[in-house]
């Protein structure tokens, strides 16, 4: 299967099966630079604590972004993975529904919610065909997912359909004009895992992202995340103010907030 990198190409037949296969084997947030983030077994309490600790330490912009959403509102998370973010949302009083392409993700997040006696609805589903009626959710949230789908534009149309009028989508897509993209290209380091590559890893400019959300009434895009803990000593030693200045311009994450 050839890797799809640019933002325009049409999806191949069978691509979604390859994407599902990749994420079933490479459960997101479990590994960093080829090493396991936790020594605990999947679904043990300490497994989630270790993963969440690493995630929010490295992604400093993420908890404030999640915290912007209002308690008591409904949210659909698309591509929840092991559900670290939707667990945070539920703890903050949101009514959580989450979908993911893989069984392993949905089993894992379901178990965590059950073990903590928390409510949530979880389904294996494809963002290209969201199994909910139109105008259904106050928020749709999706972090680092839609750029991995076979047809990103179709997913965005589906998001537009299921979010309520006046409702909000918050999503992160990868940024092409970023330090990370530049370094990967000159050093020829592949994206995602080294041993097996995710079949689709699209990256967008701000203008391309804005164009994809043009059917929404407002779109706001911020750039964040110069790099994470994978950059080792650089991440630890770089002064915070410098990190923040560079992140705003050449960060890896396009943080998109759009209103229907
Ligand atoms: C990079 S991981 C991100 C997981 C989680 N959002 C996080 O930040 O840890 C991508 C996730 O999106 C899911 N995914 C990819 N394509 C999808 C699609 N078309 N519909 C639903 N989920 C999808 C994968 O199964 C995987 O769990």
Instruction: Find the 145 Cα to ligand 1 centroid distance in Å.
Output: 5
| Dihedral sign, Cα of residue 185, residue 187, residue 192, residue 195 | positive
Ligand 1 near 102 CB (within 6 A): yes
Residue 177: DSSP 8-state = S
Taking CA atoms only, the protein residue closest to ligand 1 atom 12 is 79
* C-alpha 179 to ligand 1 mean position (Å): 23
Confidence category of residue 10, pLDDT binned at 50, 70, 90 = low
Nearest ligand 1 atom to the CA of 24 is 25
Cβ of 78 less than 6 Å from ligand 1: yes
Residue 105 near ligand 1, beta carbon < 6 Å: yes
Measured between alpha carbons, how far is 90 from 48 in angstroms, rounded to an integer? Answer: 15
Nearest CA to ligand 1 atom 11: 79
Question: So what's the pLDDT on residue 109?
Answer: 97
Q: What is the pLDDT of residues 61-88, one digit of tens each?
A: 999 999 999 999 999 999 999 999 999 9
Residue pair 73/95 in contact by the 8 Å Cβ criterion: yes
Architecture of domain 15-259: 3-Layer(aba) Sandwich (3.40)
Q: What is the pLDDT of residue 136?
A: 98
Alpha-carbon span 240 to 60, nearest angstrom: 11
- Closest among 99, 96, 80 to 138, alpha carbons compared: 96
What pLDDT sits at residue 194? 53
With a 6 Å cutoff on the Cβ, whether 199 touches ligand 1 is no
Answer whether 143's CB lies under 8 Å from 85's CB. Answer: yes
CA dist 172 and 73 (Å) reads 20
Classified as helix, coil or strand, 224 is strand
> Has residue 7 got a pLDDT over 60?
no
Q: How many residues does the chain have?
A: 260
Q: Best substitution site from 148, 157, 225 to test ligand 1's pocket, by max atoms within 8 Å of Cβ?
A: 148
Nearest CA to ligand 1 atom 27: 81
Is the CB of 37 inside a 6 Å radius of any atom of ligand 1? no
**Is any atom of ligand 1 closer than 6 Å to the C-beta of 149?**
yes
Mean pLDDT of 207-225: 98
Of 86, 82, 79, the closest CA to residue 16 belongs to 79
- Widest CA span of the chain, in angstroms? 48
Average pLDDT, the chain: 92
pLDDT digits (tens, 9 = 90+) for 144-190: 999 999 999 999 999 999 999 999 999 999 999 999 999 888 887 76
Instruction: Tell whether the model's pLDDT for residue 108 goes beyond 60.
Output: yes
| DSSP state letters, 60-104 | TTHHHHHHTSPTT-EEEEES-TT-HHHHHHHHTT-EEEEEES-HH
């Amino acid at each position: 299967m050839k890797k799809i990198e640019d933002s325009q190409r049409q999806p191949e037949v069978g691509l979604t099966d390859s994407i599902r296969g990749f994420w079933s084997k490479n459960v997101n947030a479990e590994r960093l630079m080829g090493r396991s983030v936790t020594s605990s077994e999947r679904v043990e309490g300490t497994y989630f604590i270790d993963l969440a600790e690493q995630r929010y330490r490295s992604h400093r912009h993420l908890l404030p972004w999640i915290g912007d959403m209002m308690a008591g509102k409904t949210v659909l998370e698309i591509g929840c993975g092991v559900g670290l973010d939707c667990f945070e949302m539920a703890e903050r009083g949101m009514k959580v529904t989450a979908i993911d392409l893989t069984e392993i993700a949905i089993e894992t997040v379901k178990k965590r919610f059950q073990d903590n006696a928390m409510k949530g609805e979880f389904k294996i589903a494809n963002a290209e065909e969201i199994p909910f009626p139109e105008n259904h959710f106050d928020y749709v949230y999706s972090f680092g997912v839609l750029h991995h789908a076979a047809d990103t534009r179709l997913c965005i149309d589906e998001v537009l359909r299921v979010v309520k009028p006046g409702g909000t989508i918050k999503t992160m897509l990868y940024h092409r004009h970023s330090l990370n993209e530049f370094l990967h290209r000159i050093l020829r380091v592949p994206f995602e895992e080294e041993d097996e590559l995710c079949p689709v890893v699209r990256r967008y400019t701000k203008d391309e992202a804005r164009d994809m959300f043009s059917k929404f009434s407002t779109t706001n895009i911020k750039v964040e995340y110069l790099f994470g803990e994978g950059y080792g000593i650089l991440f630890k030693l770089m002064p915070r103010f410098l990190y923040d200045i560079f992140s705003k311009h050449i960060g890896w994450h396009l943080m998109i907030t759009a209103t229907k």
